[in-house]
Structure 1
Amino acid sequence: MTHNREDRPGRVLVTGATGFLGRAVVNELTARGRPVRVAVRHDPGDWPAGVDIAVVGDLGPDTDWSAALEGIDAVVHCAARAHVLNETATDPLTVFRRANAEAAVHLGRQAAQADVRRVVFISSIGVNGRETHGVPFTAHDAPAPHSPYAVSKHEAEQGLTAVAAETGLEVVTIRPPLITGPDAKGNLGTLARWIGRGLPLPFGLVNGNRRDLVSRDRLAALISDCLDHPAAAGQTFLVSDGAPVSTRGLLLDMAAAMGTKARLIPVPPALLGSALCLAGKEAMRSQLLGDLEIDITHTRDTLGWRP
């Protein structure tokens, strides 16, 4: 595989560009003066000036990326199946694998064939595990994915690493924790809606846990840095804002940002945890009551990056 174009930094293809993170990546790249093409299922319009649009249909192992990849220098792969709060699939792992692992590897192979230089793959801190117990996750930990989603992301990482070894494609992996920002998805979005409605929330005493988060715009900036940094190729980077918060602290911050007050009820965390487990909400219990600390030393030292 050869790279002899002289016009780099060149055009970037952003998949999942209509999503919560993808939109921020597009905005960050265009603000930096980078030419961008967005890959979308349907074009909603309202893109920054100069953005190319490629309609590619549904994400899967048979998606035809050839037209979208024409003339592309690098890819940011944000598209994924995620934030499934009420899973209806009878075999979630198979569905996640198709949309996340098989689709990513297929894109990687087509990117290599199209002489794309680098792919920045957005994975998940869930590849490291569900929660920490006094020792933060690092980029060098043995993977311990804890859910079908995290397993599919880990398999995507492995598949893209194999493609890189076979073809010379440069792959950069980023594993973010929960991403914050306006209109956040998943459980964070649910909490924001509850705060906005003034509902009482039983987290007034959940002030001892420590969870690392990352803001959407800060993550978008790191992604942009990883497109060209010479030391990034072949690396896995963990990312956070560098300031762990408790669930109580997070809710108070969210309410302040929304211009309202959080109604927090002082329920003992042990009682709350037991109730969530009895309700079959172990993942939610972990997110709301457990620790998830991230060591970003490798990211700082390799990229000279500061959150």
Structure 2
Amino acid sequence: MPAPVDALVFGATGFIGRALTAELLARGQRVAATLRSRDTLTPWLTARGVDTGRLTLHPADITRPLTGLPQARDVYNAAARYAFGLDARQARAANVTGALHVLAWAATLPRLRRLVHLSGYRVSGTGLTPDYARQGAYEASKTEADLALRARAGELGVPLTLVNPSTVIGPGQYVGLASLLEDLWHRRLPALPGGPDVFLPIVTIGHLARFLAEVPAAPAGEHYWVLDEDTPPLPELIALVARHTGVPAPRRSVPLGLLRRLPRRLTGVDPETLTFLASDRYPTASARAFAERVGLAMPPAGEALRAWADDLVAARFGAAPPPPAPYGFHAVAGSRTWVIGERHSPTHVLLHGAPLNADCWAPLAAALPGPVLAPDLPGLGRSSPTSRPLDAWLAELFAPVRTRPVLVAHSLACGPALRFAAGHPDRISGLVLLSPAFLQAPGSRLVRSALAAAALRRMPAPRLAAQLGLPAGPELVSAAADLHRPGVARRMVAALRTANAEREEARALLDRVTVPVRLIAGADDPPAVPVRHPLTEIPETGHYPQLTHPTALAAHVAPHAG
């Protein structure tokens, strides 16, 4: 028989379950976690610095009667099948039968303090009967489970607490509301579903995990609706995220009644999601009182939504691993600028060239000493455009910087970096120009790679990589994803043309800069004109040494740090 534990978490590999497990371990509890398949929990915890010494893992399938699990004081059921489009059999197996199996097993525990079950804010305590045809399999199964657990727990004398969270947001959440925000980001949301009073409340994963950790010590017999009542109505919520990310918000709405009648192929909306779009409010008084007693406070809804929007964009809405934090959108000279890294004390500021974004610096940043600051240029990558000159944008980007970093620029960014160095020599300790566009011949690969805005927008990552003579790594996947967004490819081509037009001006300015300057190029992509400044050529590489030879490049960039 496994050793007794303080808490056992079913569904510990899920979005809520893993956060709860991390919270319990951080509080020094002995935690058992159930796994249905391979262990994805331990790597996730380790990557976040969570000590797993008090964690044990146990195979379990809640769709079958449970045996062989350790004795536990507190039991959490965060296991559920959360998806739309399920059939009734699939949904009931995990959400109803599975929940009753957990309850039956908990009833056998001699020292059980509490069984905490994650239900739902739209289904719990509503008095509804499950209607699989009207609600859809997911919501109907959660309704059925809620009713069945309440009745069976009373029969067995199990101390049950139902926790009913609303839309849970935070890093790693890519379903539900996240799908709506993804459509917003990609300009695929021409109109909002419902009217101005649609209330889709949120709760952050951090607050929910802390709340759950406190529940077993609360008085028995109470159930809790955990949601932020200050969540703005859906149109305001969407507008808030749109302002933060620099994309336009839809101005029109479609009544829910019409959406329900229209075929899905026209609306792109799963009918099951429409049941969550309502103006209803929920009985949160007990949860608010309990949170106040144990010293918990929700972060402001706007702050939480903006942070989550950053997380969603960083992870490409679940399609890619996010870069190391910090990252996010910042207001810079009229642009909602995507910034990765340290805004105040960087040792290097890295400006990307075409047709890339700030992600292209990840291999080099890993090889450089000290923190870096890497933005997407305005109108490119994930940054929104600005009507102000690029030089003004760069000056404002540097406004919060307290150090004198090395400014490293690639390709078309070399011209603006050179002008900044000439106008603000006291702000940087050195200038590194990597494959400068203004030193290339007009027929270089840089110019040829532009092709046309339409071609760039249609170009998948493998084809883009082939066009640039690079492997199709994550940096090229990231660049291609941004080029597919409306307007980015067109602005990229315009930036290339501007860099080409400023060629002679930049060459003349190069000889007048007073800060230390180093020119670096790939041996296969040397400057087309002679230069007076020191030139380093990296063997066996072309226009993008930060991607092909980051370690060799770092050895030449790092000595400039002051």
- TM-score w.r.t. structure 2 length? 0.44
Are residues 1:277 and 2:280 paired? Answer: no
Tell me what 2:252 maps to: 267
Residue 104 to residue 242, structure 1, CA distance change in 2 (3 Å): same
Is 1:210 paired with 2:199?
A: yes
> Aligned equivalents of 2:200 and 2:254: distance in 1?
15
Deviation of 1:224 after TM superposition, in Å, equals 1.3
Match of 1:248 in 2: 235
Structure 1 runs of 4+ with >6 Å offset: none
Counterpart residue type for residue 263 of structure 2: A
User: Structure 1 stretch 276-285 or stretch 99-108: which is displaced more?
Assistant: 276-285
User: Which residue of the partner structure matches residue 365 of structure 2?
Assistant: none
TM-fit CA distance, 1:241: 1.3
How far did 1:196 drift? 4.1
Is 1:103 matched up with 2:98? yes
Q: 1:187 aligns with which of 170, 176, 180?
A: 176
Does the CA-based 8 Å contact 1:277-1:285 persist in structure 2?
no
Question: Is 2:20 the counterpart of 1:28?
Answer: no
Letter in 1 for 2:118: I
Aligned length: 274
- Measured after TM superposition, the shift of residue 79 of structure 1 is 0.4
Counterpart-to-counterpart distance in 2, 1:205 and 1:107: 38
User: Would you say 1:150 and 2:136 are equivalent positions?
Assistant: no
The answer to whether the 8 A contact 1:56-1:63 is kept is no
How far is 1:168 from its partner? 3.0
Gaps of 5+ in 2: 265-269, 299-562
Q: CA deviation at 1:275?
A: 4.2
Quick one: higher RCO (CA 8 Å, sep 6+), 1 or 2?
1
Out of 284, 293, 298, the position equivalent to 2:286 is 298
- Specify the code of the residue in structure 2 equivalent to 1:118: R
CA distance in 2, matches of 1:39, 1:241: 30
The Cα offsets for residues 137-195 of structure 1, whole Å up to 9 and x where unpaired, read as xx5x5345544323322333333334433443211011122212223243223123334
Mapped contact 1:118–1:170 kept (Cα < 8 A): yes
In the superposition, the TM-score normalised over structure 1's length comes to 0.77
The whole-number CA distance in structure 1 between the counterparts of 2:185 and 2:173 is: 13
Instruction: Output the CA distance in 1 between the equivalents of 2:275 and 2:80.
Output: 22
SS of 1:37 mapped into structure 2: strand
Alignment of 1:1-307 (within 5 A): 11-41=6-36, 42-44=38-40, 45-46=42-43, 47=45, 48-49=50-51, 50-60=53-63, 62-64=64-66, 66-68=67-69, 70-84=70-84, 86-87=85-86, 92-115=87-110, 116-128=112-124, 141-143=126-128, 145=130, 146-203=135-192, 207-229=196-218, 231=219, 233-255=220-242, 260-270=245-255, 274-275=258-259, 277-280=261-264, 281-288=270-277, 290-301=278-289, 304=292, 307=298
CA deviations 1:229-269 (Å, max 9, x no partner) are 1x1x232221211213222222244456xx62233232243
Cα 1:248–1:262 shift into 2, 3 Å: farther
Distance 1:189 1:158, change over 3 A: same
Aligned residue for 1:114, secondary structure, equals coil
User: 1:268 and 1:249 mapped to 2: Cα distance?
Assistant: 12
User: Structure 1: how far apart are the matches of 2:153 and 2:194?
Assistant: 47
Task: Note the C-alpha offset of 1:16.
Answer: 1.1
In the aligned structure 1, how far is the partner of 2:183 from the partner of 2:140?
Answer: 30
- CA gap of 1:224–1:143, structure 2 versus 1, over 3 A, is farther
CA distance in 2, matches of 1:75, 1:59: 13
Deviation at 1:58, TM superposition (A): 3.6
Unpaired segments ≥5 residues, structure 1: 1-7, 129-138
- Highest CA radius of gyration, 1 or 2? 2
* Cα distance between partner residues in 2 of 1:264 and 1:303: 34
- Equivalent position SS for 2:68: helix
Mean alpha-carbon deviation: is it higher for 101-110 or for 191-200?
191-200
Distance 1:168 1:11, change over 3 A: same
State whether residues 13 and 38 of structure 1, in contact with CA within 8 Å, keep that contact through their aligned partners in structure 2: yes
Evaluate the alpha carbon distance shift between residue 98 and residue 265 of structure 1 in structure 2; reply closer, same or farther with a 3 A threshold. Answer: same
- Amino acid of the structure 2 residue aligned with 1:39: T
Secondary structure of the residue aligned to 1:11 is: strand
- Please tell me the root mean square deviation across aligned C-alpha atoms, in Å: 2.9
Question: What secondary structure sits across from 1:99 in the alignment?
Answer: helix
Residues 268 and 300 from structure 1, CA distance in 2 versus in 1: closer, same or farther, beyond 3 angstroms?
closer
Assess, with a 3 A threshold, how the Cα gap between structure 1 residues 104 and 209 changes in structure 2: closer, same or farther.
closer
Q: Distance in 1 between matches of 2:292 and 2:106?
A: 28
Q: Relative to 1, partners in 2 of residues 1:180 and 1:292: Cα closer, same or farther, differing over 3 Å?
A: farther
Whole-angstrom distance in 2 between the partners of 1:13 and 1:236:
20
Query: Displacement, 1:21?
Result: 0.9
